[in-house]
Chain A
């Protein structure tokens, strides 16, 4: 690759002993490089805030307009799975933070186990999401031509016992808006989880081979930032989607 690394090498720079091998030649020090990469990661997270921001805007507007439909839709979500998922993600944030600490303090086993923990918790989250989505599919709550809103006009006796009220037909139809946002938001979140888990796997393999023990831990730190961000999105999704008026 024709970058400045190759050029400087030509100009007689074959002795890398005077600086770490990871230092790219357009930086003057590892400190500058690490701070720069971290700043870049934060800016990327800003783009993610705005990306999800559009979805949150749509959610807030329609929740305002179609509150009864949103209540009914929210009651269709299993609070057990949602709470468990929240638990898993929060713990995975903890294990990831511990992973970063392990890398910072050069604890090889600590890093490997922290990453394994994060991975298992993350996969557990996706597993539960699969269960939930399957249930939605079976109940015909996936937006599109298969969507069945009539169940909201006439809830079953069990649902009425739990506090669900029947909706007028036009409001019942609006539950499709709720589920559209549910799938868009949790789907986009799950996509980010999948990407995170793929990266996490790669990082785990490298860690198991002894990587990240030489102080060059920028990848672990910045992946941690990404992972925590995905956790924060869920911290907001959980109450907004699962906990609408559970007292009714």
Chain B
């Protein structure tokens, strides 16, 4: 199979002696760093840890659902397991995944700056993340939470006997981590672009992160105040969500989903940014309709604020609200579809090769499309009445989040691994892992669409006998999926010592990050670049290759 990988001669190649990793030694130099690249690595390690904890909880869920009875664990325990799975996966993995790791690492380099606008705030955001994570784990091991990740009132405020307050405060803290990351990105992209780097020369990765950052800054504070109110209600007994005191539990849902719907766009937009970069590189073609993709990212962010009550169709909101929110939900699907079409047209007549990042990107395109299309059934209020609170919803969001976002994350990690570490991962096993993941994913989650349509409710440990076959399929798929996720840990760690030396630009990609050494210098650039080439300009790249220097430092 052909490949565009171009590595320096391995007999003589070396990792550059001076880079951001070797620059200073000692634990404190990492824990007190202001370097966005080191902070990105700190994040990468911590979110991977939380991913596996969340994944273990998923394993427990699937094991319980092998049988129709609640036999592996009590129903209360099951409630705690799926709640923690959701809380950890959403707040401690998906939300920070691409922005805090790849975004932190790449955005300053992509805009041509030496660091993010506020390095200390960047470090603070990591500490807030870790604090929120530790508090979540503390809540988990001292009894857990059983309300579902959505903390729906009045269960969370009055009837639950679990660690709602600790978890609520943990997410409050982690939320500020997200806010500070977004704030940093917006300011950096606006203010610190190198000379010549106009908005329309920015890689689409930057546009996606900009849009996601707007959501982080404007949406997350509403979650913060909502959690504060839940904590106050639970501790002091103020009555804002309590029907017996005149409060409205639905108010909680309005405030909660005002953040949590834009949150799903916070999660997916950075992944879409990765896909734009990967698809362009591995079809050797500029992204079709750059402007449309850029503006559609911002459009998703803006429209994403108008649709939150589609999570509340059956909860008791007025019919008129249902009508309006359902119509607006149809609207928000359009920009996402625009991106899928544009990526498809990028592929058309491109020189496509199938390196691992591209395999994940293909997986993304197919699975995100399915997930997105099933979202239309859910956004349409009539069909939603039948499908909501069933496994159809579970399948829908796992298709977009796992089949979509997680695949995009893995695509990005593989794509920029050589840049971040200076080493290549082993290609064959990584391609195998991508395929295993794809197969495992489909086996796990496709049956869930079927079983949901047939009526199996979500968040139940026990289910009617007739759903067992599909559930067994799903659990079998989960086992395969688990293998697919474990493999990268093994070979990526292996590659740190034994991987081939990557050189500056193993993928022959465009973008400022590929013009500097791998791993980069702490200050990224020896001199600030003056940008004259267009974005995704492969002809310019070919001309540059004649004058290429393999490493500096």
Contact = CB atoms under 8 A, between A and B. Distances in A.
Tell me, yes or no, whether A and B come into direct contact in the complex with CB atoms closer than 8 A: yes
Interface of A: 1-8, 25-28, 32, 35-37, 39-40, 43-44, 46-55, 57-58, 61-62, 65-66, 69, 143-145, 173-174, 176-177, 180-181, 183-184, 188
B254 A44 contact: no
Contacts of A26: 108, 113-117, 119, 192
B240 interface: yes
B222 A4 contact: no
B245 A173 contact: yes
B528 interface: yes
10 contacts: A2-B32, A2-B35, A3-B115, A36-B192, A37-B118, A47-B217, A54-B226, A54-B255, A65-B246, A176-B239
A contacts with B: majority SS: helix
B119 A3 contact: yes
A144 B236 contact: yes
Contacts of A7: 23, 521-523
B110 to A, nearest CB: 15
**Of residues B191, B236, B239, B247, which shows the largest number of chain A Cβ atoms within 10 Å of its Cβ?**
B239
Contacts of B229: 54-55, 58, 184
A46 B218 contact: yes
Contacts of B198: none
B5 interface: no
Contacts of A176: 238-239, 245-246
Interface in B98-121: 108, 113-119, 121
A155 B192 CA distance: 62
Interface stretch (B135-143, B179-187, B540-548): B179-187
Contact of A40 (B117, B240, B251): B117
A177 B245 contact: yes
Contacts of B523: 4, 7-8, 25
Contacts of B254: 57
**Of residues A7, A39, A145, which shows the largest number of chain B Cβ atoms within 10 Å of its Cβ?**
A7
B246 A50 contact: no
Interface of B: 23-24, 29-30, 32-35, 38, 108, 113-119, 121, 179, 183-184, 186-187, 190-192, 217-222, 224-226, 228-229, 232, 236-240, 245-248, 251, 254-255, 258, 521-523, 528
B183 A40 contact: yes
A144 B236 CA distance: 6
A70 to B, nearest CB: 11
B238 A144 contact: yes
A35 B191 CA distance: 8
Given A2-B23, A48-B221, 11 more contacts: A2-B32, A2-B522, A26-B114, A26-B192, A40-B121, A40-B184, A44-B183, A50-B222, A51-B221, A53-B225, A54-B255
Contacts of A144: 236-238
Contacts of A8: 523
A47 B219 CA distance: 8
Nearest to B184: A40
A28 to B, nearest CB: 7
Contacts of B191: 32, 35-36, 39
Task: Give me the 5 closest cross-chain CB pairs, A-B, nearest first.
Answer: A3-B34, A180-B238, A54-B225, A26-B115, A51-B221
B117 A36 contact: yes
